[in-house]
Structure 1
C-alpha cells in the first residue's frame, strides 16, 4: 500500500498521490478515454478501457498510483506489473529483442503499462510526479515500456528519467503503429553494473592493463 503523499505542483496546485485501487478504475477508464480519444468518446470505448485496466490489475506484481486534486478529482494515474513469460505483451517484446537484450531487460522486469494525465493538468508536473512515485515502490531490477514513435514529448520525459531506447520503430503489435521500446535500470542495478565495469581492466594496444 502506498501512503498518501501531498505535493504542490507547478502554479501552486496541490496534488494528492495514493494507490490506484479497484474503486478508482471507472474514473481511470474515463480519464484514459479523455486523454487519448477526446471528450467525445463512446460508452464502448470506455467499457473497453475499463476491461483492459481491470485485467491489468490482476497480474502479478501490479502496482498503481493515482493523483487527485484538492476536490478529490482524478488528475492522472500510472501503473504496471511484473513482466512474466507467457504474457501476451511479454511475447511481443521478446520478438523485438535480441536474446542478450531479453536476458538483460526481461529477467526481473516491471512492465510500465500506462501513464495518463487529464488534459487540464498536462504540462504541470503531474505525469512526472506519478512516474517518480510509482518507481519509488517498484523493486524489480529493470523496467520496460513502449510508446508511439510520434509521442516525442513522452520519449523526452522518459529519457530525462534514465530510460534508454532499446529499439526504435518496432512493430510490437502492428507495422502500422510503430513503437519505441525503452528500458530503465533500477538505481541499485545501475550502480552494480558500473562497479562491474570499473573492475574489468581494459587493455591498451601496447598490452598494458588499466582503465583508459
Structure 2
C-alpha cells in the first residue's frame, strides 16, 4: 500500500490520550507554531483563545506524547454553539450553500496539530478519531486552510466533505474551507482503489 498521510506506520512509542491542555497550553502552542507557522504575536493571542475555549461546557482535549512526556500533537474541540465567534463567521457561508443546519448538534474540531517531525504517521487520524469517539453529537465540523494539503486529504479520508469554501476569517491571510462528517469517524483509512 502506498504511504499517504494517515496510513504510514505510526511511531510505536507515541501514545494518544486525554491531556490537561490548561497545564500544557504552552507545549501545545509550540507544536502549533511549528506545524502551522505562527509568529510569537499569534502565539500570544492564541494562548488566551485556547484557555477561554477550555472553559466551555463539553470541551475535550487529547494529546500525543512520547514516553519522555514530550507533546508532539494535540487536538481539542467542543460542541458547537451558534453564539461562538467561529460559528458566527462561518454561518453566512454555510447558509449560502444550504448547509446552515450543520451548526446544530455538531462537535467542532477547534484545533488539530502534529509536530512536523511526527506527521504522516497516523497520529492526526488517531487524535481526531479518539476525540470524536466519546461525543454525543452525530456529526463533526472543522475548518482548514482552503488548499489541497495533507490535512485536507486526511479529513476527506475520514469522511469530511466540503460544506463551504473560500471562507474568510478576520485577520486570517488565507481563506478556509469548512468541512463536515458524520460520526463515528473510521479509525483506519479506506484501502486505495485497485489500478490496472
Q: Sort the TM-score into its range (normalised by shorter chain).
A: 0.7 to 0.9
Higher relative CO (CA 8 A, sep ≥ 6), structure 1 or 2?
2
Asked if structure 2 preserves the Cα contact closer than 8 Å seen for 1:109 and 1:144, the reply is yes
Structure 1's consecutive aligned runs of 4 or more residues displaced over 3 angstroms after TM superposition are: 172-176
Residue-pair matches, total: 176
Note if 1:164 corresponds to 2:161.
Answer: yes
Superposed CA RMSD in Å reads 2.3
What is the CA distance between 1:175 and its match in structure 2? 8.7
TM-score by length of 1: 0.75
Tell me which structure has the larger Cα radius of gyration.
Answer: 1
Q: Is the 8 A contact 2:139 2:184 kept in 1?
A: no
* Aligned partner (choices 46, 54, 57) of residue 57 of structure 1: 54
Shift of 1:177: 2.1
SS of residue in 2 equivalent to 1:14: coil
TM-score, structure 2 as length reference: 0.80
Instruction: Check 1:51–1:72 CA distance in 2 against 1; reply closer, same or farther (3 A cut).
Output: same
Higher relative helix content: 1
CA distance in 1, matches of 2:82, 2:167: 20
Are the aligned partners of 1:69 and 1:75 in contact in 2 as well (CA < 8 Å)? Answer: yes
**What is the correspondence of 1:12-51 to structure 2 with a 5 Å cutoff?**
12-21=11-20, 22-37=22-37, 41-42=39-40, 44-51=41-48
| 1:141-180 aligned within 5 A | 141-173=138-170, 176-180=173-177
Runs of at least 5 residues in structure 2 that lack an aligned partner in the other structure = 1-7, 186-196
Structure 2 CA distance for partners of 1:172 and 1:26, relative to 1, 3 Å: closer
Unpaired runs of 5+ residues, structure 1, are 1-8, 189-212
